[in-house]
Amino acid sequence: MTQILLKNFEVEGLTTLKVYEKLGGYKSLKKAFSMKPEEVLNEVKNSGLRGRGGAGFPTGLKWSFLAKDSFPRYFACNADESEPGTCKDRILLEKNPHLLIEGLIVSSYACLIETGYIYFRGEFQDVADLMDEAIAEAYKKGYLGKNILGSGFNFDLYTHLGAGAYICGEESALLNSLTGMRGEPRSKPPFPAVQGLYDKPTVINNVETVCVVPWIVNEGSEAYKKLGTEKSTGTKLVSVSGHVNKPANVEIEMGTPVSKIIEMCGGMRNGNKLKAFIPGGSSVPMLGIEHIDVAYDYESLKEAGSMLGSGALIVMDETTNIVEATMRLAYFYMHESCGKCTPCREGTRWLYQMLGEVLNRRGSPETIKTLQDACDNMAMKTFCPLADAAVAPVVSSIDLFPEDYKSFFAEAAATAG
């Protein structure tokens, strides 16, 4: 299987510039600089690369939305990986920091950007330290700074640590946080491509997305399109967690069946039966065993009623208490709601309270009805998609496993009787 992201991961010293260069690192710069910026942009556009952060928006198209003739522009690389189950960016940052730097240089060249920021989640102090070292090496070697490799292109790169808030992975909240403001999403429009960081046109891309760019430049967009499916091109890093034998980050070609991915991770724990899985991080609806063979790509997962999201496959076997698992997720969203808008701030807490009520055997069919209706009152009515994410596991778990919920009422009745 073609490896784009996890290539050379076993090589010792990959984090150092010397080893990275020896393995062909920073090669794409030369090629990119021999092309016009818009040619690089078109190459990425043509590759069909889609944002790996969660929304899956076509990357080249996003770049082409930058407000014309408005400079300076900024690149904000989203390394605020906080989605439960997701740890793909962390491994890229930890094991191959120069790949991201290379990707940022080439992407910024394509977008006529001379300043970039990597926004790390607050807990990534060690990763950011590592990145600072790598950036220093790159500056020393002339890959960053003025007139890179004599191309006339200048690019400065900075790292920034957030204060540990999930919401800062949302692009406009990230920009607020990056400028020292409260991490709360901004009203859109204006979109960041028009008015982003410091009110200037800004590109915000996920770490994984940027890491793919050097390969596309080196090998060409056609080669990339050969991988994956027609609409979901290339490969994808999937963070597999939960009840598998060997939880791991695996790189798969888009379209690989979920069952195959589980197999790649050593199959189900203790040979247990699969009960449910969340295919794309905690913010997407869960799917049941009937979807075990669904192809892992944007379109197929959507068709199945879920989303690819950030690419975190959470596997739950038959021993799982679905209500408890859902409540765990509800706790996360309650904890992470920024509090800016009412339905999310109040609703996430209420959902958590009601799920607790069920789990404590005090629930009734009425509780479920209220839960569902509260979810409906939250969904698509909030400022940003955090509330949509919060209701996804609740709604889907009730839909898929009504019996699990009922079992708590039954016991409630039994205890009462």
Query: Residue numbers of the site for another protein (CB under 8 A)?
Result: 165, 167, 182-183, 187, 334-343, 345-350, 353, 357, 370, 373-374, 376-378, 380-383
Please identify, using beta-carbon distances, which residue of 5 and 374 lies nearer to another protein. Answer: 374
Angstrom distance (rounded) from CA 330 to CA 386: 11
Please identify, using beta-carbon distances, which residue of 37 and 347 lies nearer to another protein. Answer: 347
Kindly write down the DSSP assignment for every residue of 211-253, as one continuous string.
HHHHHHHHH-HHHHHTSB-SSSBSEEEEEEEESBSS-EEEEEE
Provide the minimum distance between the beta carbon of 199 and another protein in the complex, in angstroms, as a whole number: 13
Angstrom distance (rounded) from CA 337 to CA 167: 7
Angstrom distance (rounded) from CA 86 to CA 195: 29
Please identify, using beta-carbon distances, which residue of 70 and 353 lies nearer to another protein. Answer: 353
Please identify, using beta-carbon distances, which residue of 25 and 285 lies nearer to another protein. Answer: 285
Provide the minimum distance between the beta carbon of 376 and another protein in the complex, in angstroms, as a whole number: 8
Provide the minimum distance between the beta carbon of 83 and another protein in the complex, in angstroms, as a whole number: 17
Provide the minimum distance between the beta carbon of 180 and another protein in the complex, in angstroms, as a whole number: 11
CA atoms within 13 A on the CB side of 3: 8
Please identify, using beta-carbon distances, which residue of 284 and 386 lies nearer to another protein. Answer: 386
Q: Say which DSSP state 270 is in.
A: G
Residues in the chain, how many?
Answer: 417
Q: Which residues are within 8 A (CB) of 339 and not within 5 positions of it... i.e. 6 or more apart? A: 345
How far is CA 211 from each of CA 18, 39, 217, 312, rounded to the nearest angstrom?
Answer: 19, 18, 11, 18
Provide the minimum distance between the beta carbon of 186 and another protein in the complex, in angstroms, as a whole number: 9
Please identify, using beta-carbon distances, which residue of 157 and 351 lies nearer to another protein. Answer: 351
Q: Say which DSSP state 155 is in.
A: B
Provide the minimum distance between the beta carbon of 381 and another protein in the complex, in angstroms, as a whole number: 6
C-alpha closest to that of 276 among 262, 261, 266, 286: 286
Q: How do strand 202-206 and strand 74-79 relate by DSSP bridges? A: parallel
Q: Which residues are within 8 A (CB) of 191 and not within 5 positions of it... i.e. 6 or more apart? A: 65
Provide the minimum distance between the beta carbon of 409 and another protein in the complex, in angstroms, as a whole number: 16
Please identify, using beta-carbon distances, which residue of 181 and 410 lies nearer to another protein. Answer: 181
Please identify, using beta-carbon distances, which residue of 187 and 270 lies nearer to another protein. Answer: 187
Q: What are phi and psi of 293, to 5 degrees?
A: -100, 15
Query: Would you say 344 and 390 are in contact if contact means Cβ atoms under 8 Å apart?
Result: yes
Please identify, using beta-carbon distances, which residue of 229 and 382 lies nearer to another protein. Answer: 382
By 3-state DSSP, what share of the chain in percent is helix, strand and coil, each rounded to 5? 50, 15, 35
Provide the minimum distance between the beta carbon of 336 and another protein in the complex, in angstroms, as a whole number: 7
Token digits of residue 36: 């016009």
Provide the minimum distance between the beta carbon of 339 and another protein in the complex, in angstroms, as a whole number: 4
Angstrom distance (rounded) from CA 41 to CA 64: 8
Please identify, using beta-carbon distances, which residue of 34 and 353 lies nearer to another protein. Answer: 353
Angstrom distance (rounded) from CA 216 to CA 389: 32
Residue type (1 letter), 152: G
Angstrom distance (rounded) from CA 355 to CA 329: 11
Query: Would you say 4 and 225 are in contact if contact means Cβ atoms under 8 Å apart?
Result: no
Please identify, using beta-carbon distances, which residue of 49 and 307 lies nearer to another protein. Answer: 307
Provide the minimum distance between the beta carbon of 90 and another protein in the complex, in angstroms, as a whole number: 23
Provide the minimum distance between the beta carbon of 338 and another protein in the complex, in angstroms, as a whole number: 5
Query: Would you say 323 and 330 are in contact if contact means Cβ atoms under 8 Å apart?
Result: no
CB atoms within 10 A of CB 67: 16
